[in-house]
């Protein structure tokens, strides 16, 4: 039976893939191109993390991620008219995925023996570099650099994870608190339009 974490992982993957496929559709990519962009959005962050950790990329060890990205493609093609009305649902799935991917990235780095500050970076890369690669592929300036709090939610979640470890909380509770804090940061940032200040250009 699928456990709760695996379910969150799959729904998060689905939501990430949907976001890539929809942006590819807006740029009139063909079905195959849209699939690749969806897949890169879903697995790109974790792949960059695994390459940096010198681990075998996670999606090469079980085919679920390629299949879920394929289902996301079919979903967008067949239910195109209803996709827009599901925006809020996708947003929630995406935020759940962000929370989970962030925590997975932190824990994988710790398992490989890296210190906490590397783990926080890896959590952030896992959650946000898929979207960054997606935007580079469709030839846009990455959204995560310009809008809302996204990657920063993973940094915050990483710090909370670290604090939970410091006070010797149970591992499952630590995971839950860190993932929830990423999820809530993301949701509240969008709801209340909280964002990071924008840089000012110099006079050059």
Candidates 7-15, 144-152, 156-164, 185-193; binding stretch for a copy of itself (CB under 8 A): 144-152
Do you know the residue count of the chain? 204
- Say whether residue 54 binds a copy of itself (CB under 8 A): yes
- Say whether residue 93 binds a copy of itself (CB under 8 A): no
- Say whether residue 22 binds a copy of itself (CB under 8 A): yes
- Say whether residue 144 binds a copy of itself (CB under 8 A): yes
- 31 burial via Cβ count (<10 Å: 0-12, 13-18, 19+): middle
CB of 170 to a copy of itself, least distance (A): 28
CB of 130 to a copy of itself, least distance (A): 14
- Name the one residue in this structure whose structure tokens are 């379910």: 7
- Say whether residue 198 binds a copy of itself (CB under 8 A): yes
170: number of Cβ within 10 Å: 9
72: number of Cβ within 10 Å: 26
CB of 180 to a copy of itself, least distance (A): 21
CA–CA separation, 62 vs 143, rounded Å? 29
Which of 88, 139, 168, 170 touches a copy of itself by CB under 8 A?
139
- Say whether residue 197 binds a copy of itself (CB under 8 A): yes
- SS3 readout for 114-159: CCHHHHHHHHHHHHHHHHHHHHHHCCCCCHHHCCCCCHHHHHHHHH
- Say whether residue 146 binds a copy of itself (CB under 8 A): yes
CA–CA separation, 83 vs 89, rounded Å? 10
CA–CA separation, 133 vs 161, rounded Å? 26
CA dihedral defined by 155, 156, 160, 162, rounded to 10 degrees?
20
Residue nearer to a copy of itself on the CB measure, 11 or 29: 29
Which of 17, 106, 121, 156 touches a copy of itself by CB under 8 A?
121
Binding track over 153-192 against a copy of itself, x by CB under 8 A = ----------------------------------------
Count of chain residues binding a copy of itself (CB under 8 A) = 59
Two tokens, residue 148:
């809302």
Which residues lie near a copy of itself (CB under 8 A)?
21-22, 24-34, 36-37, 47, 51-52, 54, 56-57, 60, 63, 66, 76-77, 80-81, 83-84, 87, 114, 117-118, 121, 132, 136-142, 144-147, 151-152, 195-204
């Amino acid at each position: 039976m699928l456990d709760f974490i695996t379910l969150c992982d799959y729904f998060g993957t689905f939501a990430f893939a949907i976001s890539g496929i929809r942006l590819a559709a807006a740029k009139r990519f063909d079905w195959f191109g849209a699939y690749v962009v969806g897949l890169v959005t879903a697995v790109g962050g974790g792949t960059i993390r695994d390459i940096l950790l010198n681990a075998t990329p996670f999606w090469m060890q079980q085919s679920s991620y390629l299949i879920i990205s394929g289902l996301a493609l079919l979903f967008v093609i067949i239910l195109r008219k209803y996709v827009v009305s599901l925006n809020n649902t996708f947003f929630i799935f995406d935020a759940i995925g962000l929370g989970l991917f962030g925590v997975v990235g932190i824990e994988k780095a710790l398992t490989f023996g890296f210190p906490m500050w590397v783990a926080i970076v890896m959590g952030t890369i896992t959650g946000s570099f898929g979207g960054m690669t997606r935007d580079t592929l469709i030839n846009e300036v990455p959204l995560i650099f310009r809008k809302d709090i996204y990657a920063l939610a993973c940094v915050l979640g990483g710090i909370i994870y670290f604090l939970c470890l410091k006070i010797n909380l149970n591992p499952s509770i630590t995971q839950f608190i860190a993932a929830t804090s990423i999820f809530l940061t993301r949701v509240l940032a969008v709801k209340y339009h909280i964002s990071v200040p924008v840089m000012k250009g110099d006079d050059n």
